[in-house]
Structure 1
């Protein structure tokens, strides 16, 4: 294990202990197979949002270069949202690599920064669920329905919420 690996593992261990000691409403986290670089996340749908009552599993994979580079977050429970790719991968600015956006959509200060923690990432995901960004969608169909046929979008979200609660 290189010194970068050991310092990222130490930081992740500390962040996990902090979350276990001081849980945050809306999500829980634990390791997948005792692997400090892979966490299982449970996001609980926030009250007064379309996702209320849902239990959404996800996996967060950290690079050994964390916190210099961001983790990836992918829902393993079905998710229907403009900012979640059909395969479950979450697309939010703070999970994009640091620096300038080659497409000019995001400013560097909106993208990944080593000051982010697992807690700030998951709070951003919870915020994303209640306030989709349909200007830069990962799921074009969901964004189009969100804008043009909100009742249909709402019906699809309600179905995944119901299904998630049955798992």
Structure 2
């Protein structure tokens, strides 16, 4: 059983999230009792513009250097979104290491900092699911469809919601 400072912090944060009723629609647990590997389920309500009603599984993988370095998040349930790579990896600023962006797109203040937590990550992901950032697309096809064919994008997202519920 890991007893590092990162493991202690993650145990506290997991316990907090599991008991916090202020964040509806987020469920977290461990993968194989490994505090550095979390399974997450996002049960998105209708406020989530494109994926409302969906049930999306994801994983959070925390590095030993947490909270100095960010975790990685990956959707296990297929999702078509400008800020999610086709393999399911999530690409949002707060999951990028706390260093200068070599492409000059993000400021250091937008990137990971130790004040972030699994809760702030998941809230940010839910937010970006409703309001994609197409300027820095991880999935170029999704960004193009979101810009050029909003109705088609919405239909594709609704199909993914149905699939996430096992309806297709």
Q: Could you tell me the TM-score, scaled by structure 2's length? A: 0.94
Task: Give the aligned partner of residue 14 of structure 2.
Answer: 16
Displacement after TM superposition at 1:45 (Å):
1.9
Task: Give the aligned partner of residue 44 of structure 1.
Answer: 43
Displacement after TM superposition at 1:46 (Å):
3.0
Q: In the aligned structure 2, how far is the partner of 1:158 from the partner of 1:51?
A: 6
Displacement after TM superposition at 1:28 (Å):
1.1
Question: Per-residue CA shift, 1:94-152, capped at 9, x if unaligned?
Answer: 00000210000000000000000000000000101110001110000000000001111
The runs of at least 4 aligned residues of structure 1 exceeding 2 Å deviation read none
Secondary structure at the counterpart of residue 41 of structure 2: strand
Q: Could you tell me the TM-score, scaled by structure 1's length? A: 0.95
- Say yes or no: does 1:130 pair with 2:130: yes
Task: Give the aligned partner of residue 81 of structure 1.
Answer: 81
Unaligned segments of structure 2, at least 5 residues: none
Task: Give the aligned partner of residue 118 of structure 2.
Answer: 118
Secondary structure at the counterpart of residue 51 of structure 1: coil
Asked if the contact 1:26–1:126 (Cα under 8 Å) also holds between the matched residues in 2, the reply is no
Unaligned segments of structure 1, at least 5 residues: none
Number of residue pairs matched by the alignment: 165
